[in-house]
Structure 1
Amino acid sequence: MTLNFLNKARTAAAPVLLMGLCLTGLPAFAQDCEIKLGTVGPMTGGGASWGLSEKAGVEFEAAYVNANGGVQVGNRKCKVKVVAVDGLSTVAGGAAASNYFASEKVFAINGPVLSTEITGFKPVSKRNNQVNFATGFAKDVIGPDFPLAFHKIQSPPAWGPLVAKTAKERFKLKSAVVLGPNDQGGTDAGTQLAKIYNDTGVKTGTEWYQRGTTNFGPIATRIMNMNVDAVDVTTMPPGEAGILIKQLLEAGYPGVFARLGAGGDVVIKNSGGIEKVKNFYWFDHVPTENPAIKKLTADFERLMKAPVPDNALVFNAQLAAETMLKAISLAGTDQDGEKIAVELRKLTPDSRYLGKAGWRGKGQYGINQEFSFPVGFNYIQDGKVGAQVKLDIPAE
């Protein structure tokens, strides 16, 4: 994967509550015909790059659709409006977001991102009849008890064994440690990842810390004493992961860093770039070097007049928003989550960029409401960037 992202400027931090994207210079729409898409994730704090990238992906899809005449709803063409809320990386933030969306009559939502936010959001959104595309790795991110919840990425059991095997062989790994916050956002996925590494033959333990930590000195010392071959920061917010890696490098850690989830490019940038982080493997939830994603990037930068965010979740947010708008068109309304969910289940996921995918999730969650778009494995070895490996994810 090319590292041109290392030269991009950071996007400015968003306010805690972001509402309504007003788009100018767009074609005429039916009078008073507007549909709303919500987006929720951490837009401040250490995980801000996750939430802001999701917001950017939804806003791009809204701008693209509006520039091309809007969404067909019945016999009218409707303008898309985006309502964005900071989920604050907390359970309470997720619950509050759902209630805020309900007050704004938003029933189709992209997010939440973090498992903590999802835990608070799910029961409230069920009462509010809201359909959503979540991002996190919570073990119960979707399931039969929450039929309006969909998943736009796959959790570690779907791709982890193949990625761990590839990393083990390339970097000759024998041992590792998985780090994460000591809440559901860290422990659910971190425990899954540790098991995957162990099953692959890489002896792996876990290390938990308090979310929001800014000094990882004591943890860095413990890791140095462990003498492990790899440090996996998958479930750490990108900002916090960057701090930890910097402190490990300052302490002289000689091993490999890993991030089997979104934000690898951001973590590398925050850690000093490839000249500092010489051995690193990471995972993107789309094959970012695919020509189709390059086309998406060009369309984004042309339409939004801004660089695409460093965090690759922007692409998954676009995929989910595109699919959600198709379902809204078929349902004939954006005001009924159940009707939208019915149409989603009938659809074959089909991106104008990546083409057709399918649904999966039955084996892991008991419900086929998870995208099966392909993913990408990236690595830096001895300071040199390797070619991205595209991995296909089977539908069920």
Structure 2
Amino acid sequence: MRVPRSAAVWMACCMALALAGCGADKVEASGTTDENGACVLTIGTLGPLAGPAADFGLSMKGTADLAAAEVNQQGGLRVGERTCHVRVSAYDTGYTSAGAANGAGEFIGQGIRFVIGPMGATEVTGMKPLAGRNDMLLVANGFGRDALQPQYPLVFHVAPGPSVWAAPIIAEARKHFSFNKVTIVATSDQSGSDIADVNEIRFTQAGLPVSRESYQRGTQDFAPIVSRILGHDPDLVDLASTPAADAGTMVKQLRQAGYTGTFCRLGGESTAEIARVAGGNDVLGNFFYYSMVDLSDPRMQHLSAEYEQIAGRPATSLTLGWLPAARALLRAISAAGTTTDTQAVAARLRQDPLEDPDLGRGVWTGQQEFGVDQEMSFPFYMGYIRDGQPQPLVRLEATQP
């Protein structure tokens, strides 16, 4: 069997951590076993798997699938005296707080202690209390104002939110586009308003006047909000964390209504889906966005090919961008030598140097925004489309905000 380059490098990283003493403690090493008595470690993933935000949940699941495949192709994950086969169990939250809480309950019943997800501020809010009471370790991706809290030490961030990358992207975008008046549109729930709040702060700090519009998640008729956006007469519309299908619909209708300004999305990356729904890059026109990775990078193309072979569908920038966090979680489980003690794994995860073979060196952030440095920030990119033509991505380094 061909061993993927990324898997080989991953194992080298684990060996380096072990040599550094990360796995020296003798900790309980147990896990569920299959019918043959072999160790099986099941990682849960939570997120929307259908509907307008399905791109998020499917990417989260894809992240875990790829990380699991990397270690399984090397023979499994070494945990204490055992080698465990890694499996992934996915739960569709419907992008709701109740759905995430139900998923937590389902995983608790299955004995799943490590979860990659959930997505969205409302989902993270719904799941944190249950996870906290049941010692469940989450590597989540909600961008809410309370996504990380010191009282939930087992909650980590798979990637930083706009509190880290919005300001650098706004500064870079002003080198490529002219805009002086911004309207931010987002859903009216916590997942939308929390991100819109952060983006408004960053635009205001950049000296730009900001107006806000919101709509109810699940809306089918976007004509009223399109009319309200036009009433603000912006030359930049920030789609924030609006689900990709909704964002694409609004872009299409705004263009049809005569809007000629620039669009951006500073609440997560789903550009391909937004363009598809809107009617193509020509409809997007001028558009800039946050991207976790550069899909044209040969390393990302290699990973994407590996993932497509595993999952039977193309990888997205989210799948590949969240991969370092899944790798770090598995390294921490191996270093702690346990599949049950989430406190010990969390302690190892906080010590991880965030050296990823494909995305480069990351930093731990979160102290300024949340009071705890438990979000993983790797180099990121500003992507942009000018006059309907995609341009080379601009790399921006990961730093403390």
Q: TM-score, normalised by structure 2?
A: 0.88
Deviation for aligned residue 1:395: 4.8
Matching residue's letter, 1:330: A
Determine the structure 2 residue equivalent to 1:22: none
Determine the structure 1 residue equivalent to 2:366: 361
Residues 1-396 of structure 1 aligned to structure 2 (within 5 Å): 31-260=37-266, 261-309=268-316, 312-395=317-400
Offset from partner CA, 1:96-134 (integer Å, 9 cap, x none): 111111111111110111111001011110011011111
Check whether the contact 2:360–2:379 (CA below 8 A) recurs between aligned residues.
no
Matching residue's letter, 1:202: L
Matching residue's letter, 2:318: L
Check whether the contact 2:380–2:398 (CA below 8 A) recurs between aligned residues.
yes
My pick for the range that moved more, 315-324 or 367-376, is: 315-324
Check whether the contact 2:164–2:400 (CA below 8 A) recurs between aligned residues.
no
Q: 2:157, 2:284 → 1: CA distance?
A: 32
Deviation for aligned residue 1:253: 1.2
My pick for the range that moved more, 321-330 or 259-268, is: 259-268
Q: 1:268, 1:234 → 2: CA distance?
A: 15
Matching residue's letter, 1:49: D
Q: 2:106, 2:341 → 1: CA distance?
A: 16
Q: 2:175, 2:199 → 1: CA distance?
A: 17
Partner of 1:171, secondary structure, is coil
- Number of corresponding residues: 367
Q: 1:367, 1:235 → 2: CA distance?
A: 23
Q: Percent identity among equivalent residues?
A: 34
CA RMSD of aligned residues (A): 1.8
**Which ranges in structure 2 are unaligned for 5 or more consecutive residues?**
1-33
Offset from partner CA, 1:355-380 (integer Å, 9 cap, x none): 33221211221111111211110111
Deviation for aligned residue 1:68: 1.6
Check whether the contact 1:61–1:322 (CA below 8 A) recurs between aligned residues.
yes
Check whether the contact 2:39–2:82 (CA below 8 A) recurs between aligned residues.
yes
Check whether the contact 1:216–1:244 (CA below 8 A) recurs between aligned residues.
yes
Q: 1:306, 1:172 → 2: CA distance?
A: 37
My pick for the range that moved more, 92-101 or 112-121, is: 92-101
Matching residue's letter, 2:121: S
Q: 2:132, 2:321 → 1: CA distance?
A: 23
Deviation for aligned residue 1:29: 12
Offset from partner CA, 1:201-234 (integer Å, 9 cap, x none): 2211111110011111011111222211011112
My pick for the range that moved more, 284-293 or 334-343, is: 284-293
Report the CA distance shift for 1:284/1:30 in structure 2 as closer, same or farther (over 3 A): farther
Deviation for aligned residue 1:272: 0.9
Q: 2:198, 2:38 → 1: CA distance?
A: 48
Matching residue's letter, 1:262: E
Check whether the contact 1:288–1:376 (CA below 8 A) recurs between aligned residues.
no
Deviation for aligned residue 1:306: 3.1
Check whether the contact 2:354–2:363 (CA below 8 A) recurs between aligned residues.
yes
Matching residue's letter, 1:286: V
Check whether the contact 1:283–1:375 (CA below 8 A) recurs between aligned residues.
yes
Offset from partner CA, 1:62-95 (integer Å, 9 cap, x none): 1222122110011221100101111211111111
Matching residue's letter, 2:384: Y
Partner of 1:112, secondary structure, is strand
Q: 2:325, 2:35 → 1: CA distance?
A: 23
Q: TM-score, normalised by structure 1?
A: 0.89
